[in-house]
Amino acid sequence: MKNTGKRITLGVTGSIAAYKAVELLRLLVRAGHDVRVVQTPSSRRFVGEMSFQALSGHPVALDQFDASAGAISHIELAGSDLMLIAPATADTIGKLAAGIADNLLLSTYLACEAPVVICPAMNTRMWNHPAVQENLATLRRRGVVIIDPGAGELACGEEGAGRMAEPSDIAVRAEKLLSSAMSTDVINKVDLEGVRVLVTAGGTREPLDSVRYITNRSSGRMGFAMADAALVRGAEVTVIAANCSIARNPGIKYIDVTSASDLQKAVEREFKRCDVLFMTAAVSDYKVSAGDTTGKLEREGKNDLQLVPTSDIVSQLQGNGNGGLKVGFSAEYGEDNRERARSKLHEKGLGMIVFNDISRADIGFESNLNEITIMAPGRDDIFVGKTTKRECAERILDQVVELLS
């Protein structure tokens, strides 16, 4: 879904979240887009133009009355493929809704015929104010895409809604919008609202003694991508993370576990109150048979390490009373094992299984890319060619939404 070479106008307004626009710009530029930044006068009190200029490779547009050589006008800025305002203050949202044009960003918006996305950021009480909500409803009615803020700790020290969406999520949505097949209606689609999603991620560790363990190469990236994608689509998301050291999303609840048996206990507890389980974690098939693994094994001749199988967590999972959908992930060695993945659908009572071939070095473990086949009983297999794990997650969620409906 990469749309190289698109022109994006990034508007930055006077919110404490303006620093996040620097990261958003970096992601957009890294994706191959030509980004022009326009700042409101207030936003410059939060972040200066130098970072934006250095990252975008263009001077920052600041003043609509600037007639100097090289200054860019609101008409030129409005000619981009997408206008993104992040963060968007209550003040700017109000002016956009009212059609006020007393700065360069606002004039650009009025002249812009491309899709417009705004990412509000403000204190919870400002966010909840009817004036702000009515202005947002007006903009939504006019086709503006609103990426709602998340809940969490706000810069003002309070907790609640109003925290700007994460730059990585905004970048993914912008990318979708730039792909010709997607309309603003689709991007506004929140098709997992009210769905409780549980994701296991990472690789378990089985202790040999107090300092050593057996593990696998799973980083947790696929599971974290599933979780981030589900959150953006409106789900309430919990991740059971087995030894993952990747960045966490403030909108998601994480439960850290170490071994297969820790993971099993957490899944059994959490599955009772979830609608969809994504069993993305690579769970060890074996553990050391010795009951007590405390202490440290010394080098004393040959050691006949005995391994015994761990429990098959997903097969043993009891129904959760609300018909929870179980989605398995089958990492098999070699394409020939596709049928082995399919047989697990029935053996483990899964509603869906995602197959990937771990014999390939260019996808899967420790990579940001994957190539998958989505299988479900009575449905045609869906092949997703080599792409980002986030895109794989979106395609899996599309299928889950169909199954749930």
Catalytic residue IDs: 216
Whether the bond between 250 and the residue before it is cis, its omega within 30 degrees of 0, is no
Is 13 a binding residue for ligand FMN by CB under 6 A? The answer is: yes
Cβ partners under 8 Å of residue 309, min gap 6: 285, 286
In whole angstroms, the minimum distance from the beta carbon of 96 to ligand FMN comes to 10
Is 150 a binding residue for ligand FMN by CB under 6 A? The answer is: no
**Site for ligand FMN, residues 21 to 60, rule: CB under 6 A:** 40, 42-43
In whole angstroms, the minimum distance from the beta carbon of 115 to ligand FMN comes to 21
Tell me the backbone φ, ψ of residue 219, rounded to 5 degrees.
-90, -20
Work out the number of other CB atoms within 10 angstroms of the CB of residue 402: 11
Question: In angstroms, rounded to a whole number, what is the distance separating the alpha carbons of residues 233 and 188?
Answer: 9
Question: In angstroms, rounded to a whole number, what is the distance separating the alpha carbons of residues 256 and 243?
Answer: 7
Cβ partners under 8 Å of residue 383, min gap 6: 372, 373
State whether residue 145 is helix, strand or coil: strand
Between 42 and 258, name the residue whose CB sits nearer to ligand FMN. Answer: 42
**Looking at 17, 55, 83, 116, which residue binds ligand FMN (CB under 6 A)?**
17
In whole angstroms, the minimum distance from the beta carbon of 162 to ligand FMN comes to 7
Q: Which residues on adjacent β-strands are paired with residue 201?
A: 241
Between 43 and 200, name the residue whose CB sits nearer to ligand FMN. Answer: 43
Count of residues that interact with ligand FMN, criterion CB under 6 A: 15
| Tokens read off for 311 | 């429990």
Using only C-alpha atoms, the chain has a radius of gyration, in whole angstroms, of: 24
In whole angstroms, the minimum distance from the beta carbon of 44 to ligand FMN comes to 9
DSSP 122: -
In whole angstroms, the minimum distance from the beta carbon of 373 to ligand FMN comes to 44
Between 65 and 302, name the residue whose CB sits nearer to ligand FMN. Answer: 65
**Site for ligand FMN, residues 60 to 99, rule: CB under 6 A:** 89-92
**Site for ligand FMN, residues 93 to 132, rule: CB under 6 A:** 121-122, 126
| 9-17, 278-286, 299-307, 342-350 -> range binding ligand FMN (CB under 6 A) | 9-17
| Tokens read off for 89 | 């203050």
**Looking at 3, 6, 11, 15, which residue binds ligand FMN (CB under 6 A)?**
15
State whether residue 399 is helix, strand or coil: helix
**Looking at 1, 2, 16, 209, which residue binds ligand FMN (CB under 6 A)?**
16
**Site for ligand FMN, residues 291 to 350, rule: CB under 6 A:** none
Contact 109, 84 (CB under 8 A): no
State how beta strands 7-12 and 145-146 pair. Answer: unpaired
Contact pattern from residue 156 through residue 175 relative to ligand FMN, giving x for each residue in contact according to CB under 6 A and a dash for the rest? --------------------
Question: Residue length, the chain?
Answer: 405
Beta-strand ranges (E) seen in 4-149 are 7-12, 34-39, 82-88, 116-120, 145-146
In whole angstroms, the minimum distance from the beta carbon of 134 to ligand FMN comes to 15
Is 136 a binding residue for ligand FMN by CB under 6 A? The answer is: no
69-73 contacts, C-beta under 8 A, 24 or more apart: 72/36
Q: Which residues on adjacent β-strands are paired with residue 356?
A: 331
| 14-22, 257-265, 369-377, 392-400 -> range binding ligand FMN (CB under 6 A) | 14-22
Between 14 and 115, name the residue whose CB sits nearer to ligand FMN. Answer: 14
Work out the number of other CB atoms within 10 angstroms of the CB of residue 11: 32
**Looking at 9, 10, 11, 14, which residue binds ligand FMN (CB under 6 A)?**
14
Cβ partners under 8 Å of residue 403, min gap 6: 325, 351, 352, 376
Between 35 and 90, name the residue whose CB sits nearer to ligand FMN. Answer: 90
Between 107 and 200, name the residue whose CB sits nearer to ligand FMN. Answer: 107
Between 14 and 167, name the residue whose CB sits nearer to ligand FMN. Answer: 14
In whole angstroms, the minimum distance from the beta carbon of 74 to ligand FMN comes to 15
Contact 89, 155 (CB under 8 A): no
In whole angstroms, the minimum distance from the beta carbon of 46 to ligand FMN comes to 7
Contact 169, 147 (CB under 8 A): yes
Between 127 and 271, name the residue whose CB sits nearer to ligand FMN. Answer: 127
| Tokens read off for 392 | 């794989």
Residues at the contact surface with ligand FMN, assessed by CB under 6 A: 13-17, 40, 42-43, 89-92, 121-122, 126
